Structure formats: C-alpha cells, structure tokens
Amino acid sequence: MRQVHALGLDLQDGLHGRGAPAAARRLRRLLAVDGVILADLDGPVAGHGRRVGSSYVDGLLAQVFEYGGGTRGRLPDGTAVYAVPLMVAEELSGALVAVGDPVEADVEAAAALVAEHLDHAALRRARARIAAADLRSLRAQISPHFVHNALAVIAALVRTDPDRARHLLSDFADYLRYGFSDKGDYATVADELEATQTYLELQRARFHDRLDITVRMAPEVLPVAVPFLVVQPIVENAIRHGLERKEGRGHISVSGYGEGPLCVIEIEDDGVGMHPDLARSLLAGTGPESRGVGLANVDQRLRAVYGPEYGLVIETALGEGTKVTVRVPRFTRGVVAP
C-alpha cells in the first residue's frame, strides 16, 4: 500500500514532473522485472533498470499506440517484453513497458494505477487553473457597477468641485491599474490597503461624505504577502450590502495586527447586517445572485492558498452590522509579493 501511495506522490506532477524516474524505479520493484520504461506519446520519458535500444522501443510503442492494447514483444536476446497503453480519462496518453518476463496481468494493473495517478495530476492542474480563472473573473468583476458609479460621481462633481473631481479621477486611475495589474497572485497588505483607500475615496464621494472610515494597522503586518484583492472585495461588500441601505451616517473600520505567527485583518461596518444563515450561504457560494460572488471568491482563494482552516470568518446579525475577519499566516511557502 505504501508503495502505491508513494507512486502517487512521485507522479503528482505528471509524467514530465521530477518524480517520473522515481516512479519508474518503484514500478520495477513492484513488478519484479529487469526494467521499466514510462513513455508519453512522443517516446520514453523515464526508465529504470535494464536499458533497451531506442529503435526497438520506438517500434514497440508505435505498435502499442496503434493497437491500443497490451502488446507482447521479444528483445533480440529472447527476453520477453510487455507494453501496455496508459489510458488517462479514456484518452491514450502514453505507455508502460516492462522488460524481462513480466506477469502480464500485473503490468496491466500497474498501468491502470499509473493512469489513475496521472488523471489525478491532471485534475490538480485543472483545479489550479480554475483558481487562477476565478481570480481573473474577480478582477473583471470590478468593472461594471463600480466603474459606472465612480464615473457618474466624478461627472457630477466636475462643475461644482473640479479639484476634487480631478483628485478622484486620479484615484480611479490608480485603482484600475491595481485591479488590472497582472504582476502576480499576491500583494503586500500595504498595497491592498492602498487600493482599498482609493476605492473608499470614490465611495465617500458617492455617499456625499456620510461615510466614516477608520483604519488601524499595526505596522508590522504591512509587508505581509496576501492573495491579491482580498481586502477590497470585503470592503465593497460591506458598503454595498451593509451601508448603502442604511439611513444616516455609516462607519467602516479596517484594522490589522499581528497575532503570533498570524496576520489578522478585520473589516467591520455598522450597517444593516444580515441573517447568519445568509452569511453561511454566501460563503458556500449558494447565496442569492444579487449578492455577487465577492465574499465566496475571497473565501475560496484563502482556503486554496492557506488550507481549509484559514477561510473568512463572518460575524453578523440583522441590524447589528457585519464583521469579517481574515486570518492568515505571515509566511506561507510560495506566497511572495512581487
């Protein structure tokens, strides 16, 4: 069992990953044969044990790929060879070749196992691609509502308060540049705050300054790297669903501090709040269409990067305001701000 599990780890980056030679070695031991060759559609990618002339292997592989099933062969010195195609998700994507009197059923079982691991590797890559696409969609999501509102506000101010309009316009430009930048998947807390600030400036103008903002940041968390666009969507959610519908002045506070090895960011508003069940469904991504996917997306990305225990925490009740807490490790391997 341990060998099978280790084989899965070896193949976690696919046939072209750095674990392929180790996988070949492990397969040779499992099958108890002289040599093992792993091949993709272009030819051998990894092998272990007894070497076989490349022209012979190429011929055998061509035969396997054409026939699509287990193929027997014999080396010039009479050693038996058995080659089995690797069918990943019902698609031919390589072959497993065993040299030296292999038990054919074993080789077929091993090939099925390898194919399954390769399938998992492909799924893992797909998941990463989906996460990246999610982020892109979140970036794209900034635009319609917000761009329209921001421009409308600026247009309204152009005559009455041209200075402020100019200021806001440059904020808007900064904000767009940040939102559309493709420098990487991570940014420092300081960068995130700056983007949030420009966003809040624009929203304040729209609210005719009936929006109060408090920011409290312990300086030691400012250089911490976090996933790109984590703070702003939460702030946006607080304004759109908490404060916009509230009568009178609204208050939003963003605070951050260190807690041992963790970095904590809290976004709190005194808006209309929501039912805890709604908050739960929002995080699950099953909330009403009108609420957008901002929170669910942030939550998913945090979990994907840091692990399931580091998702968003929402504390809320109807009429009681909302507090969203982001709690992430200060350092995680691979999370580096450019």
Question: Where along the sequence are the contacts to other proteins (CB under 8 A)?
Answer: 18, 190, 193-194, 197, 200-201, 204, 212-220, 222-223, 225, 255-262, 307, 309, 327, 329-331, 333, 335-337
Nearer to other proteins, 79 or 181 (CB): 181
Whole-angstrom CA distances from 189 to 83, 143, 228, 257, 258 are 54, 22, 9, 11, 12
Nearer to other proteins, 30 or 313 (CB): 313
- Residue 211 near residue 250, CB atoms below 8 Å: yes
Place of tokens 């092998």: 47
Nearer to other proteins, 59 or 223 (CB): 223
Residues ≥6 apart with Cβ < 8 Å to 233:
138, 294, 295, 297, 298
Whole-angstrom CA distances from 333 to 1, 88, 323, 330 are 29, 31, 28, 10
- Residue 20 CB, nearest approach to other proteins (Å): 13
- Residue 201 CB, nearest approach to other proteins (Å): 6
- Residue 152 CB, nearest approach to other proteins (Å): 20
Nearer to other proteins, 8 or 258 (CB): 258
- Residue 309 CB, nearest approach to other proteins (Å): 6
- Residue 258 CB, nearest approach to other proteins (Å): 6
How would you class 190 by CB atoms within 10 Å of its CB: exposed for 0-12, middle for 13-18, buried for 19 or more? middle
Nearer to other proteins, 196 or 300 (CB): 196
- Residue 164 CB, nearest approach to other proteins (Å): 12
SS3 content of the chain, % helix, strand, coil (to 5): 50, 25, 25
Nearer to other proteins, 24 or 225 (CB): 225
Contacts of 130-136 with CB under 8 Å at 24 or more apart are: 131/300, 131/301, 131/304, 132/185, 134/297, 134/300, 134/301, 135/185, 135/227, 135/228, 135/229, 135/301
